[in-house]
Amino acid sequence: MAASSPVRLLAAAFTAAGYRRGAFRCVPVISFLSFPRYPHRHPSFRGRANLSCSSLSFPSGGSYSPPNSVPFNLLPPDSEPFIEWDPPPLDSASPLGGGGAGEGATLVVLLGWLGARQKHLRRYAELYRERGVGAVRFVVPVRELFGLDLGRRVDRRVADLAAEIAAWCDADRRRTLLFHTFSNTGWLAYGAVLENLQSRADIADRIRGCIVDSAPVLEIRPEVWAAGFSAAMLKKSSSMTGSSAESLDGPILNDTLNSVSYNMMRPSWGECFLLSTLQKFFEIILHVPDVNQRLCKVLSILSDKQPSCPQFYLYSSADRVIPADCVESFIDLQKSLGRSVFAHNFVSSPHVDHYRSFPHVYSAKIDEFLKICSTARVSCPVSG
């Protein structure tokens, strides 16, 4: 079968599913499978991406110019920086010790889901800033993953992020770090940052905690990747990301609860077709030897070589993208390795939607975890 077949199949699936431009939200994609390592490179991360994919060429010599409903011309022309900084407040103390931006400050590294915008992560940055913690926000524009380079520019941006983190830490040896990841994309980015910092154990040793929102899946499971990709493209119209019955605004009458839940969970024909097509696609892509080997390496770091700081997993039984049992299996694995692991199941909130669904609980849980991190002593097992 021609190499272009998966692309044509996906194009048909996108059209059938009624894809809307800019609807991406949380896609675990293969851009994190071939990271270069530039541990001492100073990045210039303020540049803007200009990648455009208006057509695709096929081995047969023909070309495909997709309609607006097909995601090869899928992003608005404007882009935004991969990295944005929110300095620690000067007039408040860090919850992990020290003062503001000058001395002993704490920085949280927010690693967004694929397609997240800086404005989406800004709310989380404000959450931490209110607690005396600065933030660096890292997003992965979808534009970067649909070019012929297969996301290699994203790989370079992750290396740039690691270099920026190292430079920030080098300015004051008392500075400390937190990581807060979202979905499998943010989770894989965290593994890539750790890989880039393997030669800087002194910096990795300053990681005082890691918060994992709506992840991880340790195994390479095409159906999970397909679910994430489908939910990202369909966004609110996806049956996997809609609000659960328990978190809907306003009261729900008992005699209509089952009907509402059923309607929210039943996928459309287009969504079913898209999901099936994506699963077949990822069954091929994820088992390409180079891709599989690279992914296994990153997952191995996340499984066995994380810093020994406390870990906090925020997940939900209602998450239809990342199954709760996958998160719980990884939690059990980390506990078996002697890690300090904490978790909270929000039960009813959709994927990467726990803070919006339960803002007070989410904030309280972050406060509890920061207190744990402030007293924990950590050492770093990350090594080559």
Average pLDDT on 275-284 reads 82
What pLDDT band is residue 53 in, cutting at 50, 70 and 90? very low
* Chain centroid, CA 276 distance in Å: 23
What is the pTM assigned to this prediction?
0.74
The mean-pLDDT minimum among 3-17, 44-58, 61-75, 358-372 falls in 44-58
Coil/strand/helix, residue 183: helix
Rounded to an integer, what distance in angstroms lies between the CA atom of residue 105 and that of residue 110?
16
β-sheet bridge partners, residue 262: none
- The 10s digit of each residue's pLDDT in 280-316 is 888 887 888 877 888 899 899 999 999 989 999 999 9
The mean-pLDDT minimum among 102-106, 147-151, 258-262 falls in 258-262
Token pair 């397609």: residue: 115
What pLDDT band is residue 94 in, cutting at 50, 70 and 90? confident
- The 10s digit of each residue's pLDDT in 106-119 is 999 999 987 788 99
- The 10s digit of each residue's pLDDT in 175-234 is 999 999 999 889 999 999 999 999 999 998 899 999 999 999 988 888 887 776 776 666
Fold observed for domain 12-46+72-81+148-247+264-375: Rossmann fold (3.40.50)
- pLDDT of 160 higher than 80: yes
β-sheet bridge partners, residue 57: 63
- pLDDT of 243 higher than 60: no
Rounded to an integer, what distance in angstroms lies between the CA atom of residue 225 and that of residue 278?
8
